Each structure stands twice: as structure tokens, then as C-alpha cells.
């Protein structure tokens, strides 16, 4: 025998109130993304409506449920299809930064794994330039010599800039995705790539300084470095998150924990890829321009402040999922 109307209301009225509060918040505060498990809540209300109709409950009960279903349908389907750009904008202006802060421990490990060897090797190679040959090889050292020796003798045209833009995207995005993907091996692969990049970039930087090309090198790299280097660290952070999931699955099974970590990393992956595209644009069209070094330092410092400020403060108090 079916449940009476009174028992039905007593059992579920609390859930109805909660769902109505969620609907009010989504509608009045114009939240672009439904709260966690919103579709499940919505389907539950739909089932309650079906039960109320099949058992002939009072019009007041049916109308209340019908109204909730109608409002939930508008939010779940109408808004999600009509405003994709607004959801993307909301994530770009705060959700991305909030996701990064949420993974602060992985971010800290990735930052140390890159920055520490970078600083050590840069200082060491600047003091002992011969180290560069041992780390990079004679051919790579000669390439760096030719790259910064007599900079400005060759003027690139628009076609060269476009080709370099495509090359930087291909190269840097490839490095970042390998850094992330190698994290599947319990994070060891991501750590190795971060350490390797820190050692290599630090060695190259130190050698250029020791060779007396710092006046050409630093104005060139400061512009795109904020986006490029930060994105590489974020790729390492995401890789460590993937690698840690099966080791510390929490209450989930290992496979479920890995699946959830991959799902949670999608936004971060898109974010660091976009950052690398921005870095490639700056490196191809701004960094090689014959502009006063002081101007490039000012612009580069401003970009670093903007990037670090974004991840420190954007999206505070906003749900990103």
C-alpha cells in the first residue's frame, strides 16, 4: 500500500525546502553554474512529482512540485545551453585561480621542484660556465651563444613571427602535457620533468649571464616568462594530483579516486594551455621587438604581478565547481 499524503509530505518536505532555497539562490544571485549534484536533486523532485500524480495527492502538493520541476528544468537545461560563454568567463575570471589554490600542496611541491634547481643551476653556471657543457652539451651551448650574440642584426617579418608563434605553441604545450601526463606514474614522471626543466633552464640562464649576454636575455624572457613558467608549474601540479590519487584515495576506491582527480583537473589543463598560448603570442610578437629594455622590464614586471595577483586573489569566496 502506498504512503499517505501526510507521511509523504513529512518525509520529503525538508528536501523540498532545501531545493527551493537552491533555486532561489541560483535565480536571484545569477550563479552561472549549478551547485554540486544539482541534476540528482532535480531528478529526485521529478520522481516525487510522478509519485504525487500517480497517487492522486492534493493539487497544492502537485503544484508545488510542478513549480520546482519547472524552475529546475530552466536552470539545468535552459541556462546551461544559453550561457556557455558566461560560464567560461566565470571560470576564467576566478574559478581557475580557485582550483589552483585548492591544490596548494601539489602547487607547492611542483614550485619547489622547478624553482630550486633553476636557482641553484643558474647561480652555479654563472660562476662556473663550464658546467653548461656538462649539462647541455657543446652543441646546445653553441646554439645559445649564437642566439644572443649580436641580437638585433636580423629583423623578423610577420611571417617569421607567425611561424615562431606556432612553434612555441607546439613546443611548450607539448612539454606541459607531457609533464601532466607523466604524473600517472604516481607523480614521479611529473617530478622528474619539473626537475629536468629547472636544471636545464637554470643552466641556460646562468650560461647566458656568464657569457655577457644578460642585457639581451632578461629583457627578452621577462615578458613571456610569467605565463610560460607558471603554466609549466601548473602542469606539474596537475600531474602530481593525478599521481597522488591512487596512493591516497581517501574513502573512494583507487580507480574512482583517479577518475575524480582527472575530472577535477580538466579546468586546470585548459587553463595552463591557454596560458601557454598567451605566452607564445608574447614571445613571438613582443619579446623580440627592438624596444628599450626598460620598457620591456616594466611590461614584464607588470605581467608577473598580474599573473601572481590573479592566482592569489581571483575567485576568493566563489565556488568554482
- Least confident residue range of 16-25, 120-129, 146-155: 146-155
Are residues 162 and 282 located together in one domain of the fold? yes
Q: What is the distance, to the nearest Å, from the Cα of residue 69 to the centroid of all Cα atoms in its chain?
A: 35
Residue 255 pLDDT: 85
134 has pLDDT over 70: yes
Q: Alpha helix (H) ranges present in the chain?
A: 5-28, 38-54, 59-73, 80-82, 84-90, 96-102, 104-127, 131-136, 138-148, 158-181, 188-210, 214-244, 254-285, 293-313
> Structural domain of residue 261, as residue ranges?
89-313
Lowest-pLDDT choice from 146-155, 274-283, 285-294? 146-155
DSSP state of 184: G
Per cent of the chain over pLDDT 90 is 45
Q: Are residues 253 and 298 in the same domain?
A: yes
d(CA 206, CA 135): 12
pLDDT for residue 309 is more than 80: yes
pLDDT tops 70 at residue 11: yes
First-to-last C-alpha distance (Å) of the chain: 41
Predicted pLDDT at 156: 67
* Residue 176 pLDDT level (bands cut at 50, 70, 90): very high
Dig out the grid coordinates for 177 from the structure.
Answer: 602535457
Report the pLDDT averaged over residues 129-142: 86
211 and 265 inside one domain: yes
The C-alpha cell 608574447 sits at 282
Same domain, 183 and 220: yes
Q: Which of 82, 108, 137 is the last residue of a domain?
A: 82
Say if 107 falls within a structural domain. yes
Residue 201 sits in the same domain as residue 118:
yes
Query: Is the pLDDT score of 227 beyond 90?
Result: yes
Q: Residue 82 has what pLDDT?
A: 46
User: What is the predicted pLDDT for the residue at 78?
Assistant: 63
In whole angstroms, give the CA distance from residue 147 to residue 169.
20
Instruction: Compute the average pLDDT of residues 207-228.
Output: 90
**Does residue 41 share a domain with residue 140?**
no
52 and 97 part of one domain: no
Say yes or no: 143 and 71 in one domain.
no
Residue range 239-243: mean pLDDT, rounded = 94
Burial class (CB in 10 A: 0-12, 13-18, 19+), 126: buried
- Cβ(260)–Cβ(276) below 8 Å: no
pLDDT of residue 144: 76
Domain end position, chosen among 82, 105, 121 = 82
Confidence of residue 259 (pLDDT cuts 50, 70, 90): confident
Measure the CA–CA gap between 258 and 184, rounded to whole angstroms: 9
Q: Is residue 319 part of a domain?
A: no
pLDDT at 36 over 70: no
| pLDDT computed for residue 41 by the predictor | 86
Residues 141 and 253 in one domain: yes
Q: What pLDDT does 321 receive?
A: 41
Question: Where a domain ends, among 82, 111, 142?
Answer: 82
Co-location of 60 and 161 in the same domain: no
The CA R_g of the chain, rounded to the nearest whole Å, is 27
- What is the Cα–Cα distance from 152 to 288, expressed in whole angstroms? 8
**pLDDT tens, residue by residue, 98-118:** 999 989 999 999 999 999 999
Q: Assign 39 a pLDDT band (cuts: 50, 70, 90).
A: confident
pLDDT score of 213: 85
The answer to whether the Cα torsion of 205, 211, 216, 219 is positive or negative is positive
What's the structural domain count of the chain?
2
| The pLDDT of residue 243 is above 70 | yes
**Residue indicated by cell numbers 603570442:** 281
pLDDT in tens, 58-83: 988 988 999 999 888 887 776 555 46
Q: Which residue has the cell 560560464?
A: 87
pLDDT at 149: 66
Same domain, 104 and 61: no
Q: How many CB atoms lie within 10 A of CB 122?
A: 22
Separation CA 290–CA 100 (nearest Å): 36
The three-state secondary structure class of 87 is helix
Q: Based on the domain organization, do 174 and 235 belong to the same domain?
A: yes
pLDDT confidence of residue 81:
53
| Structure confidence at residue 87 (pLDDT) | 74
Amino acid at each position: 500500500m502506498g504512503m499517505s499524503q501526510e507521511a509523504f509530505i513529512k518525509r520529503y518536505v525538508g528536501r523540498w525546502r532545501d531545493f527551493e532555497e537552491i533555486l532561489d539562490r541560483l535565480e536571484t544571485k545569477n550563479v552561472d553554474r549549478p551547485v554540486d549534484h544539482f541534476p540528482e536533486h532535480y531528478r529526485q523532485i521529478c520522481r516525487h512529482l510522478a509519485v504525487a500524480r500517480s497517487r492522486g495527492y492534493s493539487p497544492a502538493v502537485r503544484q508545488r512540485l510542478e513549480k520546482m520541476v519547472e524552475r529546475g528544468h530552466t536552470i539545468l537545461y535552459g541556462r546551461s545551453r544559453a550561457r556557455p560563454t558566461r560560464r567560461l568567463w566565470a571560470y576564467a575570471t576566478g574559478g581557475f585561480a580557485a582550483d589552483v589554490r585548492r591544490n596548494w600542496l601539489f602547487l607547492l611541491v611542483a614550485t619547489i621542484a622547478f624553482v630550486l634547481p633553476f636557482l641553484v643551476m643558474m647561480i652555479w653556471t654563472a660562476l662556473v660556465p663550464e658546467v653548461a657543457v656538462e649539462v647541455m652539451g657543446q652543441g646546445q651551448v653553441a646554439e645559445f651563444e649564437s642566439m644572443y650574440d649580436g641580437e638585433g642584426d636580423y629583423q623578423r617579418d610577420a611571417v617569421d613571427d607567425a611561424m615562431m608563434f606556432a612553434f612555441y605553441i607546439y613546443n611548450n604545450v607539448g612539454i606541459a602535457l607531457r609533464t601532466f601526463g607523466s604524473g600517472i606514474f604516481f607523480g614521479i614522471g611529473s617530478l622528474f620533468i619539473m626537475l629536468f626543466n629547472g636544471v636545464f633552464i637554470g643552466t641556460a640562464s646562468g650560461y647566458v649571464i656568464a657569457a655577457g649576454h644578460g642585457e639581451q636575455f632578461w629583457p627578452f624572457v621577462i615578458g613571456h616568462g610569467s605565463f610560460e613558467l607558471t603554466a609549466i608549474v601548473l602542469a606539474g601540479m596537475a600531474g602530481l594530483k593525478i599521481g597522488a590519487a591512487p596512493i591516497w584515495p581517501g574513502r573512494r576506491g583507487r580507480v574512482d579516486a583517479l577518475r575524480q582527480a582527472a575530472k577535477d583537473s580538466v579546468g586546470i589543463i585548459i587553463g595552463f594551455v591557454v596560458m601557454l598560448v598567451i605566452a607564445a603570442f608574447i614571445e613571438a610578437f613582443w619579446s623580440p621587438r627592438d624596444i628599450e629594455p626598460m620598457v620591456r622590464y616594466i611590461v614584464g614586471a607588470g605581467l608577473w604581478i598580474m599573473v601572481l595577483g590573479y592566482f592569489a586573489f581571483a575567485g576568493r569566496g566563489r565556488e568554482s565547481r
